[in-house]
Structure 1
Amino acid sequence: MNVLVTGGNAGIGYFTAEQLAEAGATVVLGSRSQAKADAAAASIRARIPGAVVRHMPLDLRDLSSLKSSVDGQDPLDAVVFNAGIALDEPVRRTSADGHELMFATNHLGHFALAYWLAPLLTTARFITVGSFATRSERLDLDDLQSTRDYDPKRTYGRSKLAQMSFGFELDRRLRAVRSNAMSVVVHPGGALDSLTPSRPGVHTRPSSTRIAGLLLHGKDSGARPAVHAVLDPQVEGGQLWGPRQFGLRGKPHLEKPHAHMTDPETAAVLWEKSCELTGLDLGEVLSL
């Protein structure tokens, strides 16, 4: 099994890659940094002798670079759209393409990557990693990039909601063209660095708090819904998986998504706007 994990060099992406490698998968780490990918691969191999780990140079902020990242890659059995950024700066930042940076990285980059990966994933699983933060957010289809109403926390939540809306819409469109591929959405719950085990060269665990440990969990546990969505043969397209206990911690659990996450009308508009912003007709390649 070959699996690409975007942002697989750190955080939840790293533990997703580690757990997939432990299950016997060949893991491709999608990362901007060769050095960080090398450190993550070394950490995985140190824990899992014989693990097969490769690096795909990947910068989701730069849409023009994604085709060359995918060129020459082997067919994949799954891709985990995990990479993302969360900014706390009060000043709105933009990508090289002029898009708001969180929306560009978390959503548009994955949308464009799906376009270039589609020929390699004709019978595979697209796994989109969303966020618990999306429960309280709504998409403004007239201001997707927060040009009028920029708040870093809310803009992050909306970018992750766009990802999740895309994941559900992707599965609807795969079903419509009778594809053998599927799209599944997951979220990690409340995953904290302070509850995450150390990995030399990748992550050093800071001091923890007892109360947080009762309510939340580490990023190793936060990775489990994505790993489950990749590996479990009973998982179906269009599902949402997250932690069992209040959606914050615990073993992977099938959830009922909130209506605003799966609204087909909102998703259809988001899809068309994403095609316009990336210059890529993802629907066209899905039907090939």
Structure 2
Amino acid sequence: MPSAPRVPLWDVHRLPRAEGRSFLVTGGNAGIGYFVAEQLAGTGATVVLGSRDRAKAEGAIASIGSRVPGARVRHVPLDLADPASLKASVDALGLDRLDAVVHNAGVALDHPPRRETTGGHELMFATNHLGHFALTHHLAPLLTATPGSRIVTTGSFAAKSERLDLDDLQSARDYRPKRAYARSKLAQMLFAVELDRRLRAVGSTTLSVLIHPGGALDALTPSRPPVHVRTTGERLSRLPLGLVVQGKDAAAWPAVRAVLDPGVRGGQMWSPRAFGLRGMPTTEPLWPHLADPTTAARLWAASCDLTGNDLTVTAPTRR
């Protein structure tokens, strides 16, 4: 009886080649998103940075180019807080197919007052969840046209102890910034799981994969001027924390694996191995409240109403 084929171990420092493939990373100009883009660029793929700030995106592209010879990286203007602008952003991609999108961009506010977008939505919920929901709607034709495409959604450890208030999704009655942020990330995570249910129901080959990056600190992150510059003092002062958390370069690993690993499956959650905070990327069981289909379906319906986008999941066209 022939033995089962060996599945190669995943090596974060020796990624599979991906020439000819195209990836979009929202918020790819800074933070964890920058390192997702840098690592994906090293595979030979075309990487598009979705960012509001052209100057920061150009700085990120220059930094990646200095480390990845021949990198194919470019920028597309993207403002997730303005859903009306997203169709134009997708058109500006100039692509007829897309292999993966990494929903990474996010806003985190630490202090009141509550802030709203020009559309009247609470800023964190609008950017972190509604913007990515609407972006998925506009990207759907490109993703559907690409067999095996992936939608990788970035959650947060902060969402593990939170629950959604479906009657106050935008924290209009009781605004606490840290809780509002955690709930916006929980909404993203529920969206990713519900998206997987809907993709599977219609027999789509597109995968919806959930990741969370664990704990990441700037002081443990290698310098990437002009994107990020770490001083020696910062590095030394935070060295003990390296036993518990990690830099943003390592925090990018779950997203990169979710994009590239042929063994990844829809509906999985990938996170750092050590307590979900640091280490190599591995699968983690879905937290119980992420597996609640009733809450997820109600959130989906509310998101359609709030964005004006009826995100309908369809099967790929058979050829």
Question: Match of 2:78?
Answer: 58
Structural mapping, 1:151-230, within 5 Å: 151-206=176-231, 207-208=234-235, 209-230=238-259
Per-residue deviation, 1:262: 2.2
Q: Indicate conservation of the 8 Å contact 2:155/2:185, yes or no.
A: yes
Aligned-residue RMSD, C-alpha: 1.2
Q: Is the 8 A contact 1:63 1:278 kept in 2?
A: yes
Q: How does 1:4-83 map to 2 (within 5 A)?
A: 4-73=24-93, 74=95, 75-83=97-105
Alpha carbons of 1:57 and 1:255: their partners in 2 closer, same or farther (altered >3 Å)? same
What amino acid does structure 2 have at the position aligned with 1:28?
V
- 1:121 matched to 2:143: yes
1:47 and 1:126 map into 2 onto residues whose CA distance is 26
Contact 1:229 1:235 in 2 (8 A): yes
Residue 273 of structure 1, aligned match among 290, 299, 302: 302
Count of aligned pairs between the two proteins: 288
The alignment's TM-score, normalised by the length of structure 1, stands at 0.98
Classify the secondary structure of the residue corresponding to 1:71: helix
Question: Alpha carbons of 1:30 and 1:286: their partners in 2 closer, same or farther (altered >3 Å)?
Answer: farther
Q: How far does residue 180 in structure 1 lie from its aligned partner after superposition?
A: 1.3
CA, structure 1 residues 260+287, in 2 after alignment: closer, same or farther (shift >3 Å)? farther
Looking at structure 1, the residues matched to 36 and 292 of structure 2 have their Cα atoms a distance apart, in angstroms, of 28
CA shift for structure 1 position 89 = 1.9
What is aligned with 1:139?
164
Residue identity over aligned pairs, in percent, reads: 66
State the TM-score, normalized to the length of structure 2. 0.88
User: The residue matched to 1:16 in structure 2 has which SS?
Assistant: helix
Pairs within 5 Å for 1:239-250: 239-250=268-279
Q: Give the conservation status (yes or no) of the 8 Å contact 1:115–1:285.
A: no
Contact 1:118 1:286 in 2 (8 A): no
Aligned partners of 1:192 and 1:118: how far apart in 2? 34
1:254 matches 2:276: no
Hey, which bits of structure 1, 4+ residues long, moved more than 3 A? Answer: 284-288
Stretches of structure 1 lacking an aligned partner (at least 5 in a row):
none
> How far off is 1:263 after superposition?
1.0
Residues 268, 283 of structure 2: 8 Å contact kept? yes
Matching residue's letter, 1:46: S
Q: Is the 8 A contact 1:243 1:252 kept in 2?
A: yes
Amino acid at match of 1:266: T
Q: CA deviation at 1:284?
A: 5.6
